[in-house]
Homo-oligomer: A and B are copies of this chain.
Amino acid sequence: MPRSGESGVVPNRLGVHAGVWVGDWSPGSARYAIESSAEIGYDLIEIPAVDPREVDVARTVRLLDSSGIDAVVSLALGADTDINTEDAATSARGEALLGSAVDFARDIGATYVGGVTYSAMVKYTHRATAASRENSLAVLRRVARKAGESGISIGIEYVNRYESNLLNTAAQTALFIAELGAGNVVLHLDTFHANSEETNLASAVRDAGSRLGYIHASESHRGLLGTGILDFAGLFRQLAESDYRGPITFESFSGAVHPATTVGTIGIWRDPWTDPALAAREAHAFLTAQLAAATQSIDAA
């Protein structure tokens, strides 16, 4: 639940990606990730989508309830589940996967499914075509309708050129969402990806406009917040000026947590940290301080 700030402003909820803590969603991992997130003071945890028929959904619900934090769900389509394609069979698998993620979110009481939901998260070898883009829009219209029936929003997370050929900037994504035309589809801004594609973080927020619904706070090198190139102060000032009220979720991955397959997929060749609790605690303190500074700066102006 959003907390009331000192100045009467409802501050943004802070989240942490479950991948900071764990590399799977076994019962032990679920308990560890949820309880550790709550203990630090996070308001929500972002859980990678799993097939709701393959996990103990009721257990996840109980853990969230007893810890008092909310969940959101994320996923990235793969080459064999791409909807940014002209191949009908591949697209159908992608639509089924998106539907399954919506089911999982509904079953655990989450109201947001975001990520690379419009394209495979791969290095493409060709530009997107008009037809593949249209197909992605058509699939997402159906997925958004299904999600809306459960009060769930769909997030479109644009990524850098190495992870999609379709949406690499906030401006492209805002246009895509406008064409999509569903009220429950929002723009998901990841600061790591924005760093490789945008003029700056503040301009990305302005380009996103009122569609901005979710933020991944991820450093330029995907390590600890504040140790890279990103201008977080400028970002948070713009978020305050734009009156952004959505979640801000810390994302960072380490080989200390993830198996070799995930390391290979994401490209974690250097471990940015070895202790998840330390990383998550530092990120929470960093984000809290940035929010406070930006709010003060706006209040003073």
Give the chain B neighbours of A169 by CB distance below 8 A.
Answer: 270
Question: In the bound complex, how far is the Cα of B272 from the Cα of A169, in angstroms?
Answer: 13
> Chain B interface: which of A54-62, A173-181, A192-200?
A192-200
**Is A267 on the interface with B (CB-CB < 8 A)?**
yes
Give the chain B neighbours of A5 by CB distance below 8 A.
Answer: none
Q: Is the CB of B267 within 8 A of A199?
A: no
Give the chain B neighbours of A165 by CB distance below 8 A.
Answer: 267, 269
Q: Is the CB of B198 within 8 A of A162?
A: no
Contacts known (A162-B267, A267-B161, A267-B162); A126 close to B199, Cβ less than 8 A: no
> Chain B interface: which of A26-34, A99-107, A220-228?
A220-228
> Chain B interface: which of A44-52, A137-145, A257-265, A273-281?
A257-265
Q: Is the CB of B195 within 8 A of A267?
A: no
| Nearest CB in chain B: distance from A214 CB, A | 21
Q: Is the CB of B127 within 8 A of A263?
A: yes
Name the interface residues of A113-152: CB closer than 8 Å to any CB of B.
Answer: 123-128
